[in-house]
Structure 1
Amino acid sequence: MWLSATAAFAAPPSQAAATRDSAPAAQAPTAAAPSQSPSVPRIGMATMQPGEIFWERFGHDSIVVLDPDTGAATSYNFGFFDPEAPDFIARFVRNDMRYRLAALPLEQDLALYREEGRGVSVQWLDLDDDQARSLAASLAENAKPENAYYRYQYFDDNCATRVRDAVDRALGGALRRQIESRSHGSTFRSEAVRLASPAPWMWLGFDIGLGPSADRPLPVWNESYVPMRLAAALRGVKNTQGRPLVLAEQEILPHRIAPEPADAPIVWTPWALSGVVIGLGLAWLGRRRPRLLAAIALPFWTLCGILAALMLFIWFGTQHTYGWANQNLLLFNPLCWLLWLGGWRVLRGREAGPWFGRILAAVAACAVLALFAHWLPMQPQRNLHWISLLLPLHLGLLLGLRKR
């Protein structure tokens, strides 16, 4: 099937129609780019829909170069990495991962996506002869072993941004000029939590672990770190001759699994209602069953302490810059570790100690400070839902245990 699909790409319109029945997932474009000669490489951008494994949640893309003489379709894929490399885990933790560009036959690149049920489509680009030849030559040079590796960055330098930048260079910067001034109001956080939402642990990791620098509104240029966003952006771009850059779009594989998650802004009011109800319940429980409240508080403080330690490590021990200065530290507070001994004493029916109430008050005050920090115009962080949930919890624990 995949050899037939590649043949459909290479064939002129009349011949492509003859191959369509043997490759129903691959519909050939209606015509070659009008500005190109028959001997010029044909360039397309392939977009792969999100998969079900966590590293597949953001989708993927590559550049397809079709050789007009041989009919061979080569996929230039910037998403290759080696998880078995001896330093892979250490590099991952430091945010110093090495990815590489690989040039491989298109049918070989598509095999995994077919097995996983992930949809793949190609946008064929209307480039002039020099642009197409230059892009094909630069990709071939970039794919050489001595040039293939690059330092991967989740938001700033990934498989989609490498494809975007390669097309932009071929257009002499016209792509960036046309999409940098547009914005949908999305942020690195909003896109990350949207695409991670089918995996709750991954959603929580992004939403808790990202700091305020991930909340700046993005122009479409930066938003196109997401392959599907880049594909949508190309549809509104003109080539240097003023014609639409996308000549034709072609579905190669149907998408057979769950679709890409839709935009769903987080509404903070249910979080606030839950926080108030739980906080009042904790305050009430502390007056009547302080030992039971301590049994509830100890795991909560442990979780806060662990998350705080991770956020501090990201800030001071790694290059994950979008997690730096995380205001969620005011909510998942490292001071919670200092409450553990007093909480254990209350659980055993003893007095917590002289410093316990002061630390409880400091933790609650930090949660109040998080609310003020959220409204500051300097560098706000979109964590109002977490503030709405956790501020009442900390206040409820303060009211319930302060007399201990």
Structure 2
Amino acid sequence: MNQYLKKLFLILTMCLMTCQGWAQFEGMRLSPAARISLITCSSGNELYAVFGHSAVRVKDPVTGMDIVFNYGTFDFNEPNFYLKFARGKLNYKLSAAYFRDFVYSYTMENRSVYEQDLNLTPEQREQYWQFLTNNYLPANRFYLYDFFFDNCATRIRDGVEATFPGKVKFNISHFDKDMTFRNLIDLYLPPQPWGDFGIDLALGAPIDREATPYEYMFLPDYLSKGFANATIEQNGSTVPLTGKVRVVFERDPELTVPDTFFTPVVLCWVIFALVLAVTLLDLSKRRRSRTSDLTFYLIIGLLGIILLLLWTATDHQATANNYNLLWAIPTHIVVAVYLGKYHLPSWVRTYLIVTAVISLVLLVAWPWWPQQFHVAFFPLVLALGMRAAYIVWFSKQPVRRAHWQTIK
């Protein structure tokens, strides 16, 4: 209960700490003593927070202003919020919050906060300030979020480049480790086995493309490293874009989420063991368990329909070309109805033969597919192929009512 109260408190805090509106920045200019910095927040325990966060701090001791511009917020009150979120049509927005409140919310979540001052001249600081406040206008603050290509980190990178066109250079060739987008996000997912499972299930082959060093910066940690290795032109000379990283708050490493034994890999191998046990029992008793077959293929078929809708009925780029549809086949839901019956039409037997063959090809060519599959899918594919092969074999056996039977 304490965890739920804590989360509720954090949500209320985030709502209350937002600055009142754009009018407070209208016509405001920075003093020469002002500074602008990149804020990087470490991973959190929840899936939405596991990849970290980026924001921009603007502090002016002359005016007393100390605020954070944050591209990672959205409005729960937006009409059809959940439908838009599912379809990839949800607008995120640039918000502004008081720095003390921003940091407090992250300390409450035990997430480290780091800061890098941008090495800008007073004129450049004013240019970037004007860019941020113009972005914060009600007409400009909303954008269509994309996790890999348009998020809280890429917006900051792109904003700095747009403010100083041709003057910022990211010296990040050493980032290149032949990593795909999936490899990059996998770096953060060991504490989130179920989140890792869901991501590998829903996201298709597009995220198995090798990312360029520049594209690595969709992750806040790599944005921080990118800024640390970047340079900017000033008055005919080239200088580092940022200063050294400062620690605003360091998390307590002892306050971590304990490991859980019940992972997707364990669950899927349990499912395989159950399917194997049913198959062996059916074989020994010379029967076919119709209810088990119907349930198994119905669930996999429903899963396939969800994956197909994520591909075809949403604007999410990363959910396209999902090779998981080779085993989570939507038409399984139709075949499941016939598997609950005593007699199987010939086309159902043909369908199951194809299913068994596809499962075999998937398993044999597992490492070479253009999409990296989660290890938990292996026992599911194995179970589907095994059960399809058994049903076909059983249906071809001569009918001996005294010995062979099917059961509900």
Is the pair's TM-score, using the shorter chain for normalization, greater than 0.5?
yes
Q: 1:351 to 1:177 in 2, by over 3 A?
A: same
SS at match of 1:145: coil
Tell me how many residue pairs correspond in the alignment. Answer: 355
Whether 1:237 and 2:237 are equivalent positions in the alignment is no
> Which whole-Å deviations, capped at 9, do the CAs of 1:312-347 have from their partners, x for residues lacking one?
1112211112111211100111232133133323xx
Q: Distance in 2 between matches of 1:84 and 1:194?
A: 33
Mapped partners of 1:381, 1:142: distance in 2: 37
Higher mean alpha-carbon deviation, 182-191 vs 86-95, is at: 182-191
Distance of aligned partners of 1:119 and 1:384 in 2 relative to their CA distance in 1, 3 Å threshold: closer
SS at match of 2:309: helix
SS of corresponding position for 2:77: coil
Q: Deviations over 1:342-381 (max 9, x none)?
A: 3323xxxx344433322211222333454688677xx811
The answer to whether structure 1 residue 367 and structure 2 residue 363 are counterparts is no
Farther-moved stretch of structure 1 (93-102 vs 185-194): 185-194
The one-letter code matched in structure 1 to 2:88 is N
Q: Following superposition of structure 1 onto structure 2, how do residues 188-207 of structure 1 map, counting pairs within 5 Å?
A: 188-207=181-200
2:213, 2:157 → 1: CA distance?
A: 11
Q: Give the AA of the match of 1:382.
A: Q
Q: Closer, same or farther in 2 for the Cα pair 1:321/1:286, shift >3 Å?
A: farther
Q: Select between 38-47 and 312-321 the one with higher mean Cα deviation.
A: 38-47
Amino acid corresponding to residue 176 of structure 2 in structure 1: S
For structure 1, which segment, 308-317 or 220-229, has the greater mean C-alpha deviation from structure 2 after superposition? 220-229
Distance 2:268 2:104 in 1: 47
Q: Is the 8 A contact 2:288 2:391 kept in 1?
A: no
2:311 counterpart residue number = 315
- Shift in Å, 1:254: 2.0
Q: CA deviation at 1:70?
A: 2.7
Q: Which residue of 1 aligns with 2:335?
A: 339
Partners of 2:158 and 2:174 lie apart in 1 by: 16
8 Å contact from structure 1 (residues 281, 396) kept in 2: no
Q: Percent identity?
A: 25
Pick one of 381, 384, 390 that aligns with 1:400. 390
Aligned residue among 310, 328, 349 for 1:357: 349
Task: Please give the TM-score of this superposition, normalised by the length of structure 1.
Answer: 0.76
Q: Structure 2: give runs of 5+ residues left out of the alignment.
A: 1-29, 258-264, 396-408
Q: Is residue 269–residue 376 contact of structure 2 (8 Å, CA) maintained in 1? A: no
Contact 2:323-2:371 within 8 A present in 1 as well: yes
CA change 1:327–1:171 in 2 (3 A) is same
Residue 127 of structure 2 aligns to a residue in which SS?
A: helix
Q: Aligned residue for 1:49?
A: 42
The counterpart of 1:66, out of the listed 51, 55, 59, is 59
Aligned partner of residue 337 in structure 1, secondary structure: helix
Q: Name the CA distance, whole Å, in 2 between partners of 1:298 and 1:290.
A: 18
What corresponds to 1:298 in structure 2?
Answer: 294
Match of 1:112 in 2: 105
Query: Is the 1:193–1:206 Cα contact (8 Å) retained in structure 2?
Result: no
1:223 counterpart = 2:223: no
CA distance in 2, matches of 1:98, 1:233: 26
- Counterpart of 1:287? 283
Summarize deviations over 1:231-287 as a string: whole Å, max 9, x none.
Answer: 122222233344433312211122136679xxxxxxx9x999999988876654442
Offset, 1:80: 1.8
Contact residue 286 and residue 399 of structure 1 kept, 8 A:
no
Q: 1:259 to 1:71 in 2, by over 3 A?
A: farther
Maintained 8 Å contact 2:228/2:243: no
Judged with a 3 Å threshold, the aligned counterparts in structure 2 of structure 1 residues 276 and 200 are, in CA distance, closer, same or farther, namely: closer
What value does the CA root-mean-square deviation take over the aligned residues? 3.4
Q: Secondary structure at the match of 1:341?
A: helix
Asked whether 1:121 is paired with 2:114, we answer yes
**Equivalent position SS for 1:84:** coil
Change (3 A) 1:336 1:390: same
Instruction: Give ranges in structure 1 of 5+ residues lacking alignment.
Output: 1-36, 261-267
The answer as to whether partners of 1:43 and 1:63 remain within 8 angstroms in 2 is: yes
Residues of 2 paired with 1:115 and 1:387: CA distance? 36
Q: Where does residue 209 of structure 1 map in the other structure? A: 202
Alignment-derived partner of residue 155 in structure 1: 148
| Map of 1:13 onto structure 2 | none
Q: What's the offset of the Cα at 1:197?
A: 4.3
